[in-house]
Structures are given as structure tokens and as C-alpha cells.
Structure 1
Amino acid sequence: FEGAEGWAHAQPYIDRMRTAAGAGGERERIFCAAVEAWAARDYWKARDLLDALTVRWPADLCAIKWGQYHAFNLGDQAALLRFGERARIVFENEPYANGLYAFALEQNHRLDEAEETGHRACELAIDDAWAHHAVAHVMETQGRAKDGARWLNHCSHTWEKKGVFIRDHNWWHAGLFQIALGREDLALKIYDERLWGAWPEFPQEQIGAVSMLWRLEMRGLDVGDRWKPVVAQVRRRAGEHILPFHDLHYLYALARAGHEGEACKFMASLNAHAETAPAGAKDFWRGVGIPAAEGVLAFANDDCERAAASLGRALPALHLAGGSHAQRHLFVEAFERASAGQTSGRRAI
């Protein structure tokens, strides 16, 4: 459900779900209603339904996981933690529940508890990649880049059989630690070997690639022609507007690649989407999403004054666009560079 093709592939299963939903109990009906809301892009309703479901059935780990997913994408850290607490209470000795809880703790700035819980999860199952991820977040937030690089290197042998998202994403964090240590060449090596190419059609792989290349260029690294295959995929996302956090990355990639006309059309499409968005989203788009997009577009075009003004307006509530602290820090960096009159560091493609 993060790309248009996913929605199309899901439709037959949603149809079957509708047919069978009446045969289930109340728990199943609530879950089906949450999926219906998700399919209608009413993420707020989906979160609320899963929240209500897991109050009554806190052992439903699937509902908790998807509840956290929606809470995360809506920037609702309190709900993220509520779901995690329910998982931990019911499954105190299960590693994966501890991993869910650890990440929620970190996103709520309870760093010591998050690290302790993440390590507890890894004691129960060394291959809990989400717990690896939670501990890495703590280390990044605390500026412990050496510890973080060592930690992920220690855990990485367990990722090969994991899903592409968590595998790629943990390597993305490993790349961030290398950047923090001034080892941009190693971050680029991670990009080439681990971040791009496993599933280039996957939106999460696309935004991870955009984020990494953008950060490396801001540090003066020449990334060569690595933008080209990424932008070729991103161009297919125009007009989807499924997650605002993704849209900001797609827009930057188009503008960065010099596709000025397509970037302007994307911006116009975002404005139109903001006007027709559900009631719960309209204020977000007007106060945060559109200013952030304008800032991203200006930064890609080296218009520092406009980039600083627009990003500065959006940053206080940018968490509502989704993404983690680490992911959103990209926009903080862009704002700081623009405020200092520094350009994006891009080179001609």
C-alpha cells in the first residue's frame, strides 16, 4: 500500500475480505474495517480502529504491528507507544514484541529504556532486526556513531533472509553512521552493495536511496550517475500521493535530476491533492506538507532564501509527515545549509 501497484494487487484480496467479513466475529470485523479505511487512504480511521481493537484484544500482534505502522506514518508517537506497551504486556518474553516496544520508546525519547528493551529482545532472538534497528536509533540520537557502526556490523549477518525493507533500512542506518564518522566513501560503498538494486520498484528502497544520495551530496561527495536509475523509478510515482513523507523525497529527486517541468507538475499535483484531502489532512498539508514541499523544491534549485523560509515554516510540525527522527533530520540539514547560504552540493547529472 505504499505504491499504486500495491493497491492494485491488493484489490482482489480486499474483495474476498469483504465477502468473508460477515462470517467472522467482532474482532475480525473491526480488523476488516481498518483495512477498508486503509484502502480508502483514511489512515486516521485505520489507526483508531486498530487502537480500539488492541485495547480489547491486546494479544493480536498483527493488529498491533499495523497500528504502529499507521501511527508512525501519521507522526502519532503517543499511539506508537500505546501499541508497543500492549505488545510488551502480553508478550513480555517474546523478542519481536520487545522490538516493537523498543522502537516506540526511542521515538518517544525514552532512550535508556529503549536501548535496554532492544537488547532484551536480542537476548531472546539475536535475529530480531527491528530490535537491532531500535538500538541503532538510540545510538544515533545520542551521537554514538562508533557504537552504532559496531552494533549494526555485529548484527548484520542475521539480515540476509529478512524482508527487503528491514534489511535495506538497517543498512541505510549503517550508512548514516559512516557519514557521521566522516567515512562518506564507506557510506557510498554500502549504498552500492546494500541499498539500491534489490527491489528498485519498492517505494521504501526509493526513498532510502534519495535520502542517502542527498546527504552525501550535501557533504560534497560526487555520487556520479547514481541518481539516474533512482529518478527513473521515482518518475512513476507522480500523482500517487500515498504518503507525504515519500512525496518530499520524490519531489527532490525529480528537481535534483533537472526534470524541472515534472517537478513543477508534481508540486501542482500536491497542491490539488491538499485541497481534496480528508478533513484530518487538510490542516497538515496547508501548514506543513506544502511548505515542506516548496522548501525541498527550492533547495534542489539552490534557492537558499526560499528554501530556508519554507522549510523553517514546516519543521516544527514535520513529524506529522511521518518518518523517524533520523529520517526527518535530512530536512533539518537542508534547512541549516539553506539558512547559511549553502547550496545542495549537487553536480550535473
Structure 2
Amino acid sequence: MEGEMKLDCWGYQVRTCSDACMSAINSYYQQVLSYGRKRYVILDAPKSDPQCVLGNILAAHFLCSADSSRAQPHIEAAKSYLNHASPYEKAMFDVLLYFVSPDRDDDLAVELHSKLLQDFPRDLVSLKRAQILCFYMGRPDLSLKLVEQVLPINGNENYIYGMLAFPLLELGRMEDAEEAGKKGYEINKDDPWSQHALCHVYQFDCRFKEAVEFMENCARSWHSLSSFMLTHNWWHVALCYLEGQAPMTNVRDIYDHCILKELERSDAVPAEVYLNAVGLLLRVYVRGELDAFGDRLRVLANNVANQAFWFLEWHLDILILWALSFTGEFTKAEDLLKGLKSRCGVLIVLSHTMFAHESECLFKYGKGDYEQALEFLGHEFDAVNFKIIGASDEQLDVFTEVYISLLLNTGEPKKAIQGIEKQLKQREGVPFLWCLLEKASLMLGRAEEAASYGKKARELEAAYFT
């Protein structure tokens, strides 16, 4: 084990005699940063050099998300040769061993990553890992702090500006996010995270046609993306069509040919596809356009009734709950709900209590029990408190729309108007919000105001895709 040191693509030392091992590690880095679908390439590293600490611990981290029993031998191998590892490998071992621990404290995990990045600031994969953790913690502020920590030394690097742009847009700094996204796109036009960040900005600004044209031009580079990134980018395109009041056939075609089509690939990850598919259909339903999709929701609900797709992500779980309850699969929905409540009971903190209430809400909403659904969601609902489900602001918007819909369906138009006006302060170019305002005003007998809101909605609809 006195083998030579090689340098990885960051320039950090890794003890291995195997060029193939080093190549697998570097290929894995590239797959992670580019949202590639071949992250399993890291498994070639310990095959090429069973004594490489970095190859083993990275393989263990990769396997933990799917099969922790397969990860343990790699952890033990890394531990066995740790005394001969480089300082970088030892630091990575400590961070990743804690990261895969079942008793992990997320705040401490972020702190450990921050320390790692102080010592090894060129390691953009560790930055990415930490940012994903921050996302599921609902902490874009921490995510931004991490990327700013390493930005000075990585100012001209590929992928860094997409990682800068996302927390900026999550913090509402859209101009800064656009600037960062454009810089990332200039460095690498195929960087999916920079593309994605720019789409977020254009979409938020109601530049729907610009967003669609930009993303459809980028789509030529998406074939090699993971199931999630591929279908999520198309989800954004479909949503821009939907929000800009394009013909519903545009939205349906993307659902059929760009999202569900992914399931035909032998290496597809169905859960990642279903997250975007069900999320899109919920948007369509809230807007009263589900009839244009025929029996697609029923077919989708039948697929996600498979318990193999449950308890993977909070966000997917609550979307599945809605799909199952709406299509009459009440027994399955109740089984899922019980499982979620049990898990939330173990994690007795405010955020998980809120998640349990949101789950109950989506279950009741799907059944058409609007009074009970609103009771669980609460009359002071604010989507920003639900980032812990693992959703961006754009993904959370649908729950705000559900909230407003529930207020209207339970005869609370004044309260609904408050929610609508709050949304309009941020995105006054969304026709659907003006339609909701028109409906609420009619319920209050304000015909003249309703007419002006309806006119505004029609003007916006005509401005985007006609």
C-alpha cells in the first residue's frame, strides 16, 4: 500500500497505482456535476483498485441511496487502508462516513462540508453534495454561503455559476441569479443546472415565451441527463406553456413525449419521472384543464400505487397521495398516509408536523373534502414553510394555488383575494392569478372589478403564445 499518489481533476492527491481507478473517480465527478445518468461509473474505481480509499468511500456513498448493505464492504475497505491515504482522502472519508450515517444531523453535515471546502475548495462535487443537503433542509442561505466560500478560487470553473445561481433565485435575488446563470451558460452551454436556473428566472419574471424558446434550444443536450434532470427541465417547459396559456396540446405533448417517454429507456429511474409527471398533472387539475389529459392521471396513479415508489421523497409522497385519492384508490392512499404519519411521529419537530398536515390536506383535496383539506392546511398557509419537502419555490407554488382554490371552494373569497394579491405582487404577469381574482370578485358581487380582472387575464393570455 505504498503506491504512488495521483492527482484527481481538482489537483488533489489520491493514493492509487491504477489509472483506471483515477479515471473512474474523475468520470464520476463529471457525471455528478452534469446531472449525468452514469454516476454508477464510480463502482469501477474500487474494482480497479480495491485499496483506494477515495474510490471506496465514494462508491459507498453512491450505493447508500439504493442498497446500504452493498455499501458497507466499501466502507470497511476504505477504513482498512485509511492510514496510507492522502489528507484529502482522509477528509473525504470522515465527511462521507458521517453523511451516510443513519443518525446524521444535517446541520453538522453542512458544517463538516464547509470545513472540507475550506481545506479543499476546488472540490465542486462536495459543494454540490452540500448544496443538495441544504435544499432538503430548506436553507438556500446556507447553500449560498457555501458557494460564495469557494467562488474566489473557482471563478472561471465549469458548473460553479449554476451552483451560485440556484440559491440566489431561491432567495429572491433574480437579477443576480440571471447574471450568474448566464455566466455559467457562457462557460458551458450544455450545463443543465445553469440552463435550469435561467429558466427559473425567466419563468418567475413571466417571460414564458423566452423561457420556452431558450429551453427547447437547449434540449439537444439533454439526452444524457438523469431521469430527474431530463424530465424536470421538460416540466419547466410544460409549466411555461401552461402559465402562459398556450394551447393545452402543447402541455400534453410534453407530458407524453418528453416526460413519460423517459420510462421507455432501460436505465430510467421511474420515481424521478413520476415526481415531475404527477407534479405537472396537479397543476393542470388546479387550472381545471385535466379533461384534456383523458385517463392519463388514472394510468399514472396505477403506477405510483406500487409501494416501491413510496417513502423516497416527501415531495413525491404527497403528490402520490393526491393522485391516489383523486382517482379513488382510497385504501392505497390511506396506507401511504399512515406510513407518512408514522414517520413524522418519529421525527417530532415542527417542520414534520406541518408536513403531516399538508399530507392530510392533499389526501382530502383529492377526495373533494375541501373543508377538511383547508382545516389541515390552515388559514394562514405560507408555502415558504414547506421547503423541507424538497421542493423549489416554483414547485411549491402549486400548493399555494391549492390553498387559494380551497378558500374559493369553501366560500372564503375575501381570504382568497389576500392570497392572490400576495402572489400578484411577485408575478403580476400570470393570467391564472387574474382569473382567480375575477372569480373571487364575482363571488363577492363585485361585477365591475371582476370584469376588469377578467380583461387583464385575457390580455395577458393573448400576449404570450398567440
Using the size of structure 2 for normalisation, the TM-score is: 0.67
Letter in 2 for 1:307: A
Among 356, 373, 378, the alignment partner of 1:307 is: 373
Among 248, 255, 269, the alignment partner of 1:191 is: 255
Q: How do 1:125-144 and structure 2 match up within 5 A?
A: 125-144=188-207
Among 86, 89, 95, the alignment partner of 2:158 is: 95
Q: Identify the residue that residue 386 of structure 2 maps to in structure 1.
A: 318
C-alpha separation in 2, matches of 1:42 and 1:240: 23
Any gaps of 5 or more consecutive residues in structure 1?
344-349
Q: Identify the residue that residue 206 of structure 1 maps to in structure 2.
A: 274
| Structure 2 residue 403 is the aligned partner of structure 1 residue 335 | yes
Among 248, 266, 283, the alignment partner of 2:350 is: 283
Q: Which stretch shows the higher mean deviation, 154-163 or 267-276?
A: 154-163
C-alpha separation in 2, matches of 1:14 and 1:236: 28
**CA distance 1:89–1:258, change in 2 (3 Å):** farther
C-alpha separation in 1, matches of 2:389 and 2:114: 20
C-alpha separation in 2, matches of 1:107 and 1:227: 30
C-alpha separation in 1, matches of 2:230 and 2:241: 17
Letter in 1 for 2:69: Q
C-alpha separation in 2, matches of 1:204 and 1:128: 19
Q: Which structure's CA Rg is the greater one?
A: 2
Q: Identify the residue that residue 36 of structure 2 maps to in structure 1.
A: none
| Structure 2 residue 314 is the aligned partner of structure 1 residue 244 | yes
Q: CA deviation at 1:208?
A: 0.6
C-alpha separation in 2, matches of 1:141 and 1:224: 29
Q: Share of identical aligned residues, percent? A: 24
Q: Which stretch shows the higher mean deviation, 74-83 or 222-231?
A: 222-231
**CA distance 1:97–1:21, change in 2 (3 Å):** farther
| Structure 2 residue 137 is the aligned partner of structure 1 residue 74 | yes
Whether the 8 Å contact between 2:238 and 2:254 is mirrored in structure 1 is yes
Where relative contact order (Cα < 8 A, 6+ residues apart) is larger, the structure is: 1
* Alpha-carbon displacement from aligned partner over 1:131-156 (angstroms, at most 9, x marks no partner): 01001111122222122112212222
Note the aligned Cα RMSD (angstroms): 2.4
Q: CA deviation at 1:107?
A: 1.0
Q: Which stretch shows the higher mean deviation, 306-315 or 146-155?
A: 306-315
Q: Identify the residue that residue 118 of structure 2 maps to in structure 1.
A: 55
* Alpha-carbon displacement from aligned partner over 1:205-260 (angstroms, at most 9, x marks no partner): 11111011111122222121212442233223479534322221121122122111
Using the size of structure 1 for normalisation, the TM-score is: 0.87
Any gaps of 5 or more consecutive residues in structure 2?
1-62, 412-466
C-alpha separation in 1, matches of 2:150 and 2:133: 16
Whether the 8 Å contact between 1:148 and 1:174 is mirrored in structure 2 is yes
Q: Secondary structure at the match of 1:232?
A: helix
C-alpha separation in 2, matches of 1:208 and 1:11: 29
| Structure 2 residue 245 is the aligned partner of structure 1 residue 182 | yes
Among 272, 285, 309, the alignment partner of 1:217 is: 285
